[in-house]
Structure 1
């Protein structure tokens, strides 16, 4: 067996916080909390053939965090793990996921704040960089090392959970009574990976906007970018596009409120529903044939060999968010500085993770990344990579048998990851496991929310407290209140309803107050 080198440093950090008001509700460590049975520095003695402990240090209490023992672990080849053990422990483990291509440093401001919040509630906090440093290996370049690709795909998650539990057992004399995980985007994929591959690692899992069909997402983006590269869509027309989309789709739920409750209920067709420019002209108040062709490609399902390969993009993200910019800016449509997530992620994926971008000399073939990508020929060649990266297995029977509870949320107006991907996965699980799926797995869709937060919807909410109550009290969430905050002020509240239910206005009272809405089935 390959030797595992583990280094334990005691640093405290957490991954970027998912959407919402933040986890842990009103939980705080109390006098009955478990105390350490040994010294923090004693964890250094865990050195073995598999573990190499560099240091363990008690961090004094501060204005933001209670006293805790900082521990950081490095597993071979370069898998960094950080575990934070409070001096007053509530008996629970909490792990945060990653974003993007992972590899984040542990000491960022956002992670420190999230870590402190968890420590104040008495949790042992755990995190990993998934086996590489983004500062040293930009984008997906780490994937050129196969072990790092495997660590990123799934291994790092299980190793981190096991390490955190071992440290808790050593430090407190007992392991966690309950273990929880939360992550959004890449972190959402990681959460589903844990439920599918390592069903006994966590009791409660919260996943937001999961990049669960990772290979399909990147290949679909390549297909869409082929269309956008051939027919660029100008940022200057996003306002007009958004106006036409919302004019047709906003009131489909019976209420004109600046939100598209479920984009699937609006049959928006660019070629039919947008004003066409006169041939040979391109004015600000119309769309050229090429622009409409690019939009038709994005909104339509991606087909491969005559079969549906990936769902078309839902309408909704065209609208301007809190920063005054369309959700498409920096995603499908490049920002003013030329950056675009669809391009950058798709380029990194094809450059470093797939076999067809190299020429006969084994060198990177830049031309092949987008221009020569073939939606019919290329996807079938990725079966092994799908097994490493995708979290699409609908069989969650082992996780259910463990007693695990899973909450998933997705913004309907997410411009970076396709919300239909999440809905369709949930429906596949229901098809596989039956109508009692909601006894352990529930989905909450968020109208108007962008990627992991933001947008024009009520994107501030707490999913962690509901999963804690579900795991430990048996109370399954049916309705979760969410807020929209502008300039520090709550301007709207709405209920998020367990899918397939949606929020329906009662017909009286302010449309900005959640109390005036009820959760109903879509056809009611």
Structure 2
């Protein structure tokens, strides 16, 4: 299904959007945001209805193809014809915007259908989607699940205390005490400091010896069954609910609250309604990669065709992402650079990555996270200096390369309540650093180095 929002005051631009999780729902905040800015805006349900459950994938290879790679291409093809029929002329430029699964879909479009879009905006992109999903099961097992009565199992309440301690200890190291770990990949964390008797955590949540090993394991990268590192470490300071919230509140039995793992592996990978993640291992992850149902995993990094046609790609990722580890975006950037044998300057000619400290998955968080990516906050940031979609437009249509974007934190995340703080966010690998003297709530006090 494709849905169109066609504004009367059209700016001659086309915008396609993606989905989230296991798809099945139109991304209304993004499509509405685009239409409000004058784009002829389109959304898709990814080829099926519903974003929970496994039935819509079970024995449905064509639905899997839609979710994996085809739905965005169909949206682009059909949407362009709708625009021509409705407005009586074609769009001058074609754009895509999506986050999470939508970010993956954006990279898939640039890789497989490079002529569909002139510019792609990909947020928190789950480009290695099957490993993103698998990581939740692997990490749950590393902390003792489903053996919730074992000495090594780390309880949910303990994880809240662990993350709070990380922020308390690491936040001040960037020079600004604001509840944000600017770049968690800079640090290593030894959970032994949280052992009972150290005084860092109180007696109700401090770690016993076997639990220390579990927590240490949780913050190690993921290797495949051959021992090759294939997925980065979980980020320090990020919420762990996707693997630590794993007991059914009603029954008290082991049960992952992150349902995507069970749903997708049941319906798509193993095609079995009886499968459960109770004994999940790296072998399951490797098997999923081998099957790659619906070509869902963005295996390739060779964006040479998209680059050659003049396409521009902007990715952004919150450093406090609680679903897709933010280091994955740096891995993908480096992988693309290697595939193209490109210098950093050559990469920046068509592909730019922005990290947003203090931003959760796609949106939200304690940082200056609003960069115009969604309704309604996007209405408070409607120029290319504060809005990455409009920065992408300026890059595609005027050749203005975005070196930075100003992120905004509204009071209570409500535009009408006014601006709480702003911060300059920098194109990777440059990073945003406080100048040491200005008001940290002002973007002008943050420099790119």
Q: What range describes the TM-score normalised by the shorter chain of this pair?
A: 0.7 to 0.9
CA contact (8 A) 1:329 1:335 kept: no
- Aligned-partner SS, 1:477: coil
1:49 is matched with which residue? Answer: none
Which has the higher mean CA deviation after the structures are superposed, 401-410 or 243-252? 243-252
Deviation at 1:492, TM superposition (A): 1.9
1:344 is matched with which residue? Answer: 259
Instruction: State the distance in 1 between where 2:244 and 2:290 align.
Output: 27
Deviation at 1:173, TM superposition (A): 3.2
Once superposed, what is the RMSD of the aligned Cα atoms? 2.5
Instruction: State the distance in 2 between where 1:365 and 1:151 align.
Output: 24
Establish whether residue 141 from structure 1 lines up as the match of residue 43 from structure 2. no
Establish whether residue 485 from structure 1 lines up as the match of residue 395 from structure 2. no
Distance change (3 Å), C-alpha of 1:460 and 1:335: farther
Which has the higher mean CA deviation after the structures are superposed, 228-237 or 149-158? 228-237
Q: Match for 1:495 among 424, 427, 439?
A: 424
Which is greater in Rg? 1
The correspondence of residues 281-360 of structure 1 with structure 2, limited to 5 A, is 283-284=203-204, 286-304=206-224, 305-317=226-238, 327-329=239-241, 332-334=244-246, 337=249, 343-355=258-270, 358=272
The correspondence of residues 155-304 of structure 1 with structure 2, limited to 5 A, is 155-228=70-143, 229=145, 230=147, 231-270=152-191, 272-276=192-196, 283-284=203-204, 286-304=206-224
Q: Runs in 1 of length 4+ with deviation above 4 angstroms?
A: 113-117, 334-342
Deviation at 1:233, TM superposition (A): 2.9
Distance change (3 Å), C-alpha of 1:341 and 1:202: farther
1:385 is matched with which residue? Answer: 292
* TM-score, normalisation: structure 2: 0.85
Distance change (3 Å), C-alpha of 1:167 and 1:341: farther
Instruction: State the distance in 1 between where 2:304 and 2:122 align.
Output: 18
Instruction: State the distance in 2 between where 1:344 and 1:239 align.
Output: 21
Deviation at 1:464, TM superposition (A): 0.7
* TM-score, normalisation: structure 1: 0.73
Distance change (3 Å), C-alpha of 1:455 and 1:377: closer
Residues 56-113 of structure 1, C-alpha deviation per residue, up to 9 Å, x if partnerless?
A: xxxxxxxxxxxxxxxxxxxxxxxx1112333443211111211111111x5xxx82x6
Distance change (3 Å), C-alpha of 1:374 and 1:207: same
Q: Match for 1:508 among 407, 419, 437?
A: 437
Paired residue total: 413
1:397 is matched with which residue? Answer: 304
Residues 252-295 of structure 1, C-alpha deviation per residue, up to 9 Å, x if partnerless?
A: 3344332211111111122x3322369xxx93251123432332
Distance change (3 Å), C-alpha of 1:285 and 1:385: closer
Establish whether residue 439 from structure 1 lines up as the match of residue 349 from structure 2. yes
Residues 333-366 of structure 1, C-alpha deviation per residue, up to 9 Å, x if partnerless?
A: 25885798763111112211223x75xxxxx444
Instruction: State the distance in 2 between where 1:377 and 1:127 align.
Output: 32
Instruction: State the distance in 2 between where 1:457 and 1:335 align.
Output: 30
2:318 is matched with which residue? Answer: 411
- Bigger share in helix: 2
Q: Unaligned 5+ residue runs, structure 1?
A: 1-79, 318-326, 359-363
- Aligned-partner SS, 1:102: coil
Instruction: State the distance in 1 between where 2:406 and 2:248 align.
Output: 36
